[in-house]
Amino acid sequence: MRSVLLTVEGMSAGYSGVDVVRELDLTIDKGEVVALLGPNGAGKTTTLLALAGVLTPTSGKVRYRDAPLRGALHRRARRGISYISEQGSVFSRLTTLANLRLGPGPVEDALALFPELEPLLGRRGGLLSGGEQRMLALARSLAGKPDLLLVDELSLGLAPLIVTRLLERLRAAADAGTAVLIVEQHASQVLAVSDRGYVLRRGRLSTSGTGAELLASPDVLRSAYLGTG
Ligand code: ATP
């Protein structure tokens, strides 16, 4: 049975009084992977920042587990919402182990999710490759078994094989109950593991559908890649 976790109704958000996301409606169910797609500058990151509590929406309603979602990032973390920024959210001067210890869950659970991190435990975060940093951020976050994980541009600068591995873990986390909202400019790999997706264009919702529907739509893919169509 469908179990709605997050409902966004008519949300607008932006910077210095100028809305760059306008009247957005979306829902996320428990255990779903939802992709938020669109070209550069469409408002994907802004949407995620508003849901994470980094930005305050200028209007609209956001409900999480049947109550209004308010408060800053750390308060939302206590309500089971985890946010991974485009920069990866890894502390570059701390070792992999220290980064994992700062997380909300046991280090062993993080390592069980990504055994690749084990030989890197003594290495500083800043010396890890891009893919390793993303693994570290995901491992740390998922070990806390969040109810909702917000991930920005997971694939940025990574080889497709690593992206596949990360997406596989996200899909498994969703199947175990974590809802995932994933912002992505390059749609096809993410849609392959997504239940549903939304496409933003110039701050507004342009299309939505199941992962399979969006994957099969050349127009949607073209607009997500190139900002045209
Ligand atoms: P990208 O893939 O480039 O991150 P995006 O879809 O995530 O694209 P946003 O980062 O949400 O888009 O940006 C939406 C609009 O808001 C863009 O026009 C951008 O220039 C503007 N914007 C983003 N951050 C700020 C900021 N800190 N101050 C002012 N305007 C901003």
- Summarised one tens digit per residue, pLDDT across range 189-227 is 899 899 999 999 899 998 899 988 888 877 666 665 555
Does the pLDDT value for residue 151 go beyond 70? yes
Least confident of 22-26, 154-158, 159-163, 170-174: 154-158
**Closest C-alpha among 68, 87, 90 to residue 79:** 68
Which pLDDT score is estimated for 224?
Answer: 58
Which pLDDT score is estimated for 200?
Answer: 92
Does the pLDDT value for residue 229 go beyond 70? no
Distance 46 CA to ligand 1 centre (A): 6
Taking CA atoms only, the protein residue closest to ligand 1 atom 10 is 45
Query: Ligand 1: which atom is nearest the Cα of residue 46?
Result: 11
Distance 183 CA to ligand 1 centre (A): 13
Could you tell me if residue 107 is inside a domain?
Answer: yes
**Ligand 1, pocket-test mutation among 18, 22, 46, most atoms within 8 A of CB:** 46
Q: Which residues form ligand 1's pocket by a CB distance below 6 Å?
A: 15, 20, 38, 40-46, 185
Does the pLDDT value for residue 71 go beyond 50? yes
Name residue, tokens 């973390």. 77
> Which tens digit of pLDDT belongs to each residue from 113-124?
999 999 999 999
Mean residue pLDDT across the chain: 91
Distance 27 CA to ligand 1 centre (A): 22
Which pLDDT score is estimated for 175?
Answer: 96
**Ligand 1, pocket-test mutation among 18, 45, 223, most atoms within 8 A of CB:** 45
Q: Which residue has the higher pLDDT, 54 or 229?
A: 54
Which pLDDT score is estimated for 72?
Answer: 82
Structural domain including 96 reads: 90-145
Does the pLDDT value for residue 108 go beyond 70? yes
Q: Are 190 and 162 in contact (CB under 8 A)?
A: no
- Region 59-72: mean pLDDT is 90
**Closest C-alpha among 71, 77, 80, 26 to residue 53:** 71
What are the distances in angstroms from CA 204 to CA 44, 78, 165, 221?
10, 30, 31, 17
For residues 75 and 29, give the distance between their C-alpha atoms in angstroms, rounded to a whole number: 21
Which pLDDT score is estimated for 78?
Answer: 83
Distance 41 CA to ligand 1 centre (A): 5
- Region 36-52: mean pLDDT is 93
Could you tell me if residue 119 is inside a domain?
Answer: yes
Query: Which DSSP state fits 117?
Result: G
* pLDDT band at residue 155 using 50, 70 and 90 as cut-offs: confident
- Region 127-133: mean pLDDT is 94
Could you tell me if residue 49 is inside a domain?
Answer: no
Distance 21 CA to ligand 1 centre (A): 9
Name residue, tokens 């701050």. 203
Could you tell me if residue 179 is inside a domain?
Answer: no
Could you tell me if residue 226 is inside a domain?
Answer: no
Q: Are 213 and 221 in contact (CB under 8 A)?
A: no
Query: Ligand 1: which atom is nearest the Cα of residue 183?
Result: 7
Could you tell me if residue 112 is inside a domain?
Answer: yes
Number of domains in the chain: 1
Which pLDDT score is estimated for 76?
Answer: 85
**Closest C-alpha among 205, 206, 203 to residue 219:** 206
Taking CA atoms only, the protein residue closest to ligand 1 atom 26 is 15
> Which tens digit of pLDDT belongs to each residue from 10-41?
999 999 989 999 999 999 999 999 999 988 88
Could you tell me if residue 81 is inside a domain?
Answer: no
Which pLDDT score is estimated for 227?
Answer: 52
Distance 98 CA to ligand 1 centre (A): 32
Which pLDDT score is estimated for 159?
Answer: 87
Which pLDDT score is estimated for 222?
Answer: 67
Could you tell me if residue 17 is inside a domain?
Answer: no
Sheet holding 196-201, edge to edge: 81-84, 148-152, 179-184, 33-37, 196-201, 204-210
Taking CA atoms only, the protein residue closest to ligand 1 atom 29 is 15
